Amino acid sequence: MIPSKKYWIAALFSFCTIKVIGQKNFHEKSIVIDTHNDVLSSATLKGLNIEDDLSGKTHSDIARFHKGGVDIQIFSIFCDERYGKGTAFKMALREIDSLDAIVARNPSKLVAVNNSRELREAVRAKKLGVMKGVEGGHMIEDNLQYLDSLFNRGARYLTLTWNNSTSWASSAWDETNLDAGKPTTITQKGLTDFGRQVVRRMNELGMMVDLSHVGIRTFYDALETTTRPVIVSHSCVHALCPVPRNLTDEQIKAIARNGGVIHLNFYSGFLDSNYNRNKDAFQQRHKKQLDSLKALNLPSYQVDEEISKLFPVEAEELRPSMNLLMEHLDHIVKLVGVDHVGLGSDFDGIDSAPQDLDGVEDMPLITSALLVRGYSKKDIRKILGGNFIRLLKKAGPAS
């Protein structure tokens, strides 16, 4: 007897269901690590608490980390250029205090992680492993004792600069402006002698040197100085989206020679080469509201976030396909191999992510996309977290 059409539809549905369940199980059994999330600073600024359900307000909260199968999250300790001597280090400590308090209040769900052994223990206990990364060298306020203090409080990487340069390291933003003859705070590029001291001290401590945000000259100076593999916690590929924050192919090759790992940022503007032009047109259509936000003296990233909230339908249309994120990943893998790429979403530090990636709960979609693209399960495990674990082990004595 020839099976009916209804039979074949049911069989196809059953096959697809089994496949989806299989992908979900594989994701849940893999160690999933995200090396950069800004919810700590963004939620604090808004008076929110990640212990609550923040759906529709943020990209992240504790329950959604669990739903997304995230095993280890590095929370960014961040403040912008408005903080400097006398204020930046205090803000870093305040955020660390807040995160430590959240962990202490949720012992059944969260656990602090400082090295690869504790990482494995967190995974076995099925708790979210909480790690810390300091985003911006200005938070050490030119003081190596402050660097030591941050490490002792759990910081396991330091991003040498944010968009703002320090007195000892130049950022991608400032190096680009200097080359273009635009106003900038720097007169020379790269690391100073003190900057090299910072890198060497990080090596001694076992703190990873993070090269996201830094200028090209700082990038190469840091690679010349470090004796350990570096991390790039949240950046993408310049060849596919030529913005200063992304890495050129030569930089990607240099990181591979160093043994480092590039963790891909989910920000639409670092993935889609058309995004900034489309975003500019969107903002010009709403110039009146944009000017009102700028008059509040908000930093540019907050202006972008607020204007998107005012016009959510138009902002949604700007989001690129998730396939673009996969293309950035493919590019790195083809160039230097699968051992040098991971995930650094920048959730809650960005105002736009690819379609379908609405928050940390959607991380399983990354695994599904990698399976569809033909990556082996062994290689997917490396991308999801294995490469970072290797990096953490090699960071130094603290691991």
Mean pLDDT per segment of 10 residues, for the chain of length 399 residues?
Answer: 48 44 86 98 88 95 98 97 96 96 97 97 98 98 98 98 98 96 93 98 98 98 98 98 98 98 98 94 90 87 87 91 98 98 97 96 97 97 98 77
Q: Measured between alpha carbons, how far apart are the two ends of the chain, in Å?
A: 64
* Whole-structure pTM value: 0.92
Backbone dihedral region of 167: left (phi > 0), alpha (psi from -120 to 50 degrees) or beta?
alpha
By DSSP bridging, strand 72-78 and strand 33-37 are parallel
Tokens of 86: 């006398």
Which two structure tokens, joined as six digits, stand for 73?
A: 């999250």
User: What is d(CA 277, CA 282) in angstroms, rounded to the nearest whole number?
Assistant: 9
Instruction: In whole angstroms, give the CA distance from residue 228 to residue 274.
Output: 36
Calpha distance 363→370 (Å, rounded) = 12
Q: Under 8 Å CB-to-CB from 159, ≥6 apart: which residues?
A: 133, 134, 135, 136, 137, 210, 211, 212, 213, 214, 233
Per domain, the residue ranges of the chain are: 31-274+320-394
β-bridge mates for residue 73, sequence order: 34, 130
In this prediction, residue 44 carries a pLDDT of: 78
- CA-to-CA distance for 212 and 250, rounded, in angstroms? 15
CATH number assigned to the domain with residue range 31-274+320-394, chosen from the 4 options 3.40.50.11900, 3.20.20.140, 3.40.50.2300, 3.40.50.300: 3.20.20.140
Q: Report yes or no: 324 and 271 within 8 Å, Cβ to Cβ.
A: yes
Beta strands in the chain (DSSP E): 33-37, 72-78, 110-112, 128-135, 155-159, 208-210, 231-235, 261-264, 341-343
DSSP string, 313-352: HHHHHTPPPTHHHHHHHHHHHHHH-GGGEEE---BTS-S-
Residue 10: per-residue pLDDT: 44
